[in-house]
Amino acid sequence: MADWDDLRFFLAVHRAGSLTAAARALGCSQPTVGRRIAALARRHGAALLEARGGRWALTGVGRKVLVRAERMEREAAAIARDVDRLDERPQGAVRVSAPEGVGLFVIAPRLPAFERAHAGIELLLAGESPVVDLLRREADLAIRFVRPRQHELVVRRIARVPFQPYAAAGYLARRPRDGDALLPGDDLVDYHEDLAGAPESVWLRRHVPEGRVRVRVRTALAIRAGVAAGAGVGLLSPYVAADPDLRRLAAPALVRDLFLVTHRALRRTARIQIVSRFVVECLKAIGGEGRPGAW
């Protein structure tokens, strides 16, 4: 029988599709993942996963094991939540998942003060673009621009963030205009095509109808880098665009709600309450709202 720790590796490879991506999700090395998958195959006497077309896919045995592995995962998460409900001490680890810009520019500078005030809480800030799964305990708290709908999650709107067009001084010197006007044919720095439904991309298509996309990227920080390099106009939040070389252009802002999310079973624990209040206080600088810490 495989224990739960072994099956974590199996589930990670199944979901990520590659050993490298699974290793990144698990916080270990790619060879370690490969060894654990090989050990599972030896233990069961058959491969659970096999390489197909550059990705790892389930075998017939793997499909049968998957059902039980996911059941074990749910039980492990339920045990962790039960323990958390009993833990009212203001101590322990809390992982906060946040969009890169919010994490690096708004929350990270305030971490030293938090650590001084709450030495018993080990706060890990994960600045990341993918939406983590709180039901699988990939994070304890998440800051999101998209409101989740799962019943097991509790959600608070904590800020309204404006996004506006910015361009570098060098680009504006090459493309002169009256004041800070946005031109219909401006060059653009936008998200990759498979993110075409992102509100920022929709806004750019509407307000720069003849614009030509010169750079496509996958994160807000990469948009900032492209804009700062003079590649064109990009839509940025003010905390990401805080650079003296970047100029805000005149156009209506895209305003997006920002939500704080946690699992319903965790919201009353002392460390979650403390970190929630900390996050809300941080977000006040960018249009935060609501009563700190009240779920």
Whether residues 95 and 228 share a domain: the answer is yes
- Structure tokens that stand for 256 in this block: 């997006």
Residue at token pair 């500078």: 109
Write down which residue in 85, 117, 135 finishes a domain.
85
CATH number at residue 72: 1.10.10.10
Range of the domain at 201: 89-295
* Nearest alpha carbon to residue 159 among 98, 115, 243: 98
Contact 8, 26 (CB under 8 A): yes
Write down which residue in 55, 85, 115 finishes a domain.
85
CATH number at residue 146: 3.40.190.290
Whether residues 153 and 294 share a domain: the answer is yes
Contact 119, 90 (CB under 8 A): no
Contact 19, 33 (CB under 8 A): yes
Whether residues 283 and 252 share a domain: the answer is yes
Whether residues 72 and 141 share a domain: the answer is no
Total domains, the chain: 2
34-52: pLDDT as tens digits: 888 888 888 878 888 988 8
Whether residues 70 and 116 share a domain: the answer is no
Whether residues 255 and 109 share a domain: the answer is yes
Write down which residue in 51, 85, 119 finishes a domain.
85
Whether residues 29 and 130 share a domain: the answer is no
Q: Tell me how far apart the alpha carbons of residues 45 and 51 are, in angstroms, rounded to a whole number.
A: 17
Whether residues 201 and 226 share a domain: the answer is yes
pLDDT recorded at residue 223: 97
CA 261 to chain centroid: 12
Whether residues 164 and 190 share a domain: the answer is yes
State the average pLDDT for the chain.
88
- Structure tokens that stand for 26 in this block: 């698990």
Residue type (1 letter), 161: V
CA 257 to chain centroid: 15
Listed ranges 1-5, 74-78, 198-202; the one with the highest mean pLDDT? 198-202
Whether residues 23 and 130 share a domain: the answer is no
Contact 110, 153 (CB under 8 A): no
Residue 278's pLDDT band (boundaries 50, 70, 90)?
A: very high
Contact 81, 22 (CB under 8 A): no
Whether residues 25 and 106 share a domain: the answer is no
Whether residues 96 and 184 share a domain: the answer is yes
Q: Tell me how far apart the alpha carbons of residues 63 and 124 are, in angstroms, rounded to a whole number.
A: 34
pLDDT recorded at residue 54: 81
Q: What is the DSSP letter of 241?
A: S
- Close Cβ partners of 282 (under 8 Å, ≥ 6 residues apart): 106, 107, 110, 288
Mean pLDDT of 195-208: 94
240-263: pLDDT as tens digits: 999 999 999 999 999 999 999 998
90-111: pLDDT as tens digits: 778 899 999 999 999 999 999 9
Relative orientation angle of helices 19-26 and 30-44, to the nearest 10 degrees: 110
Contact 32, 12 (CB under 8 A): no
121-166: pLDDT as tens digits: 999 999 887 777 787 778 899 999 999 888 788 999 999 999 999 9
Residue type (1 letter), 281: E
Q: Tell me how far apart the alpha carbons of residues 120 and 139 are, in angstroms, rounded to a whole number.
A: 18
